[in-house]
Protein backbone atom coordinates (compact mmCIF):
# COMPACT_ATOMS: atom_id res chain seq x y z
CA UNK A 1 0.00 0.00 0.00
CA UNK A 2 1.54 3.32 -1.05
CA UNK A 3 1.69 6.53 1.00
CA UNK A 4 -1.14 8.18 -0.92
CA UNK A 5 -3.48 5.22 -0.31
CA UNK A 6 -2.65 5.21 3.40
CA UNK A 7 -3.24 8.97 3.61
CA UNK A 8 -6.54 8.61 1.75
CA UNK A 9 -7.73 6.01 4.27
CA UNK A 10 -6.99 8.40 7.16
CA UNK A 11 -8.75 11.29 5.36
CA UNK A 12 -11.79 9.05 4.82
CA UNK A 13 -11.70 7.88 8.44
CA UNK A 14 -11.68 11.50 9.63
CA UNK A 15 -14.61 12.34 7.33
CA UNK A 16 -16.65 9.40 8.63
CA UNK A 17 -15.82 10.38 12.19
CA UNK A 18 -16.98 13.93 11.47
CA UNK A 19 -20.28 12.66 10.05
CA UNK A 20 -20.73 10.51 13.14
CA UNK A 21 -20.01 13.47 15.44
CA UNK A 22 -16.93 11.87 16.97
CA UNK A 23 -14.27 13.76 18.92
CA UNK A 24 -13.03 16.68 16.76
CA UNK A 25 -9.52 16.42 18.24
CA UNK A 26 -9.17 12.79 17.16
CA UNK A 27 -10.39 13.45 13.64
CA UNK A 28 -8.05 16.44 13.38
CA UNK A 29 -5.14 14.19 14.37
CA UNK A 30 -6.05 11.77 11.56
CA UNK A 31 -6.24 14.64 9.06
CA UNK A 32 -2.91 16.07 10.20
CA UNK A 33 -1.25 12.67 9.89
CA UNK A 34 -2.84 12.12 6.46
CA UNK A 35 -1.50 15.46 5.22
CA UNK A 36 2.02 14.54 6.35
CA UNK A 37 1.85 11.00 4.94
CA UNK A 38 0.43 12.05 1.59
CA UNK A 39 3.57 13.98 0.64
CA UNK A 40 6.17 12.12 2.70
CA UNK A 41 9.20 11.62 0.41
CA UNK A 42 9.96 8.04 1.47
CA UNK A 43 7.70 5.01 1.21
CA UNK A 44 6.09 4.18 4.55
CA UNK A 45 6.52 0.52 3.73
CA UNK A 46 10.27 1.07 3.27
CA UNK A 47 10.46 3.08 6.51
CA UNK A 48 8.71 0.28 8.38
CA UNK A 49 11.00 -2.36 6.89
CA UNK A 50 14.24 -0.45 7.49
CA UNK A 51 13.55 1.54 10.67
CA UNK A 52 10.57 -0.17 12.23
CA UNK A 53 7.98 1.62 14.33
CA UNK A 54 10.55 4.24 15.41
CA UNK A 55 10.86 5.39 11.79
CA UNK A 56 7.11 5.92 11.52
CA UNK A 57 7.04 7.80 14.84
CA UNK A 58 9.58 10.26 13.45
CA UNK A 59 7.01 11.52 10.93
CA UNK A 60 5.26 14.72 12.12
CA UNK A 61 1.71 14.02 13.23
CA UNK A 62 2.27 10.28 13.66
CA UNK A 63 1.95 9.02 17.22
CA UNK A 64 1.82 5.48 18.58
CA UNK A 65 -1.83 4.87 17.72
CA UNK A 66 -1.55 6.12 14.13
CA UNK A 67 1.78 4.33 13.63
CA UNK A 68 0.08 1.09 14.71
CA UNK A 69 -2.68 1.69 12.19
CA UNK A 70 -0.10 2.32 9.46
CA UNK A 71 1.56 -1.00 10.30
CA UNK A 72 -1.83 -2.75 10.10
CA UNK A 73 -2.59 -1.09 6.76
CA UNK A 74 0.74 -2.18 5.31
CA UNK A 75 0.54 -5.71 6.68
CA UNK A 76 -3.22 -6.43 6.47
CA UNK A 77 -4.64 -3.73 4.21
CA UNK A 78 -6.98 -2.49 6.96
CA UNK A 79 -7.11 -1.72 10.69
CA UNK A 80 -9.62 -2.47 13.43
CA UNK A 81 -10.88 1.10 14.00
CA UNK A 82 -11.69 1.41 10.27
CA UNK A 83 -13.59 -1.88 10.29
CA UNK A 84 -15.61 -0.85 13.37
CA UNK A 85 -16.56 2.53 11.92
CA UNK A 86 -17.60 1.24 8.48
CA UNK A 87 -19.65 -1.48 10.17
CA UNK A 88 -21.67 1.28 11.87
CA UNK A 89 -21.51 3.99 9.20
CA UNK A 90 -21.20 2.76 5.61
CA UNK A 91 -18.33 4.24 3.61
CA UNK A 92 -20.87 5.19 0.90
CA UNK A 93 -22.08 7.99 3.19
CA UNK A 94 -18.93 9.85 2.12
CA UNK A 95 -20.30 9.98 -1.44
CA UNK A 96 -23.00 12.34 -0.16
CA UNK A 97 -20.32 14.94 0.63
CA UNK A 98 -19.51 15.22 -3.09
CA UNK A 99 -22.96 16.64 -3.77
CA UNK A 100 -23.14 20.46 -3.68
CA UNK A 101 -25.36 21.54 -0.81
CA UNK A 102 -24.48 18.58 1.41
CA UNK A 103 -21.81 19.04 4.05
CA UNK A 104 -20.87 16.84 7.00
CA UNK A 105 -23.78 17.97 9.20
CA UNK A 106 -26.39 17.40 6.49
CA UNK A 107 -24.84 14.05 5.56
CA UNK A 108 -24.96 13.06 9.24
CA UNK A 109 -28.61 14.11 9.51
CA UNK A 110 -29.56 12.26 6.32
CA UNK A 111 -27.82 9.11 7.51
CA UNK A 112 -28.84 9.13 11.17
CA UNK A 113 -32.43 10.36 10.93
CA UNK A 114 -33.48 9.21 7.46
CA UNK A 115 -31.14 6.21 6.96
CA UNK A 116 -29.80 7.62 3.68
CA UNK A 117 -26.29 6.25 3.16
CA UNK A 118 -25.63 6.39 -0.59
CA UNK A 119 -26.36 8.44 -3.70
CA UNK A 120 -28.89 5.85 -4.86
CA UNK A 121 -30.77 6.11 -1.57
CA UNK A 122 -30.54 9.91 -1.71
CA UNK A 123 -32.05 9.94 -5.23
CA UNK A 124 -34.99 7.86 -3.96
CA UNK A 125 -35.32 10.07 -0.89
CA UNK A 126 -35.34 13.25 -3.00
CA UNK A 127 -37.76 11.76 -5.55
CA UNK A 128 -40.16 11.00 -2.71
CA UNK A 129 -40.07 14.60 -1.48
CA UNK A 130 -37.83 13.77 1.48
CA UNK A 131 -35.83 17.00 1.33
CA UNK A 132 -38.90 18.85 2.57
CA UNK A 133 -38.52 16.95 5.86
CA UNK A 134 -34.86 17.90 6.44
CA UNK A 135 -34.32 20.81 8.81
CA UNK A 136 -31.77 23.27 7.48
CA UNK A 137 -32.32 22.57 3.79
CA UNK A 138 -34.02 25.50 2.16
CA UNK A 139 -35.54 25.65 -1.30
CA UNK A 140 -32.35 26.87 -3.01
CA UNK A 141 -30.22 24.16 -1.44
CA UNK A 142 -32.87 21.56 -2.26
CA UNK A 143 -32.84 22.66 -5.91
CA UNK A 144 -29.04 22.52 -6.00
CA UNK A 145 -29.10 18.97 -4.59
CA UNK A 146 -31.79 17.89 -7.07
CA UNK A 147 -29.84 19.40 -9.96
CA UNK A 148 -26.61 17.73 -8.81
CA UNK A 149 -28.28 14.35 -8.52
CA UNK A 150 -29.68 14.79 -12.02
CA UNK A 151 -26.23 15.42 -13.47
CA UNK A 152 -24.27 12.84 -11.43
CA UNK A 153 -23.62 9.42 -12.87
Q: Read off the pLDDT of residues 125-147 as tens digits, 9 standing for 90 and up.
A: 999 999 988 888 888 989 999 98
CATH number at residue 128: 1.10.150.20
Domain match, 70 and 103 both: no
Mean local confidence (pLDDT), 77-102: 93
pLDDT at residue 152, rounded to an integer:
55
Does residue 153 have a pLDDT over 80? no
How many domains in the chain? 2
What range defines the domain where residue 34 resides? 3-88
Helix axes 80-88, 3-20, angle to 10 degrees: 40
130 and 77: one domain? no
Residues 35 and 56 in one domain: yes
Whole-number pLDDT of residue 151: 66
Other CB atoms within 10 A of residue 27 CB: 20
Q: Are 19 and 91 in contact (CB under 8 A)?
A: no
Q: How far apart are CA 105 and CA 114, in angstroms?
A: 13
Q: What is the mean pLDDT of residues 3-22?
A: 95
Task: Out of 68, 88, 108, pick the residue that ends a domain.
Answer: 88
Instruction: Provide the mean pLDDT of the chain.
Output: 93
Distance CA 52, CA 71 (A): 9
| C-alpha–C-alpha distance, residues 139 and 62, integer Å | 43
8 Å CB contact between 11 and 34: yes
Amino acid sequence: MDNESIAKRFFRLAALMEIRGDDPFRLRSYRNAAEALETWPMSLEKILKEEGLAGLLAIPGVGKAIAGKIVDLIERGTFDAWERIIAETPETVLDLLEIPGIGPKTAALLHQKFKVSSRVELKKFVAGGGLDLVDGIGSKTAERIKHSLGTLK
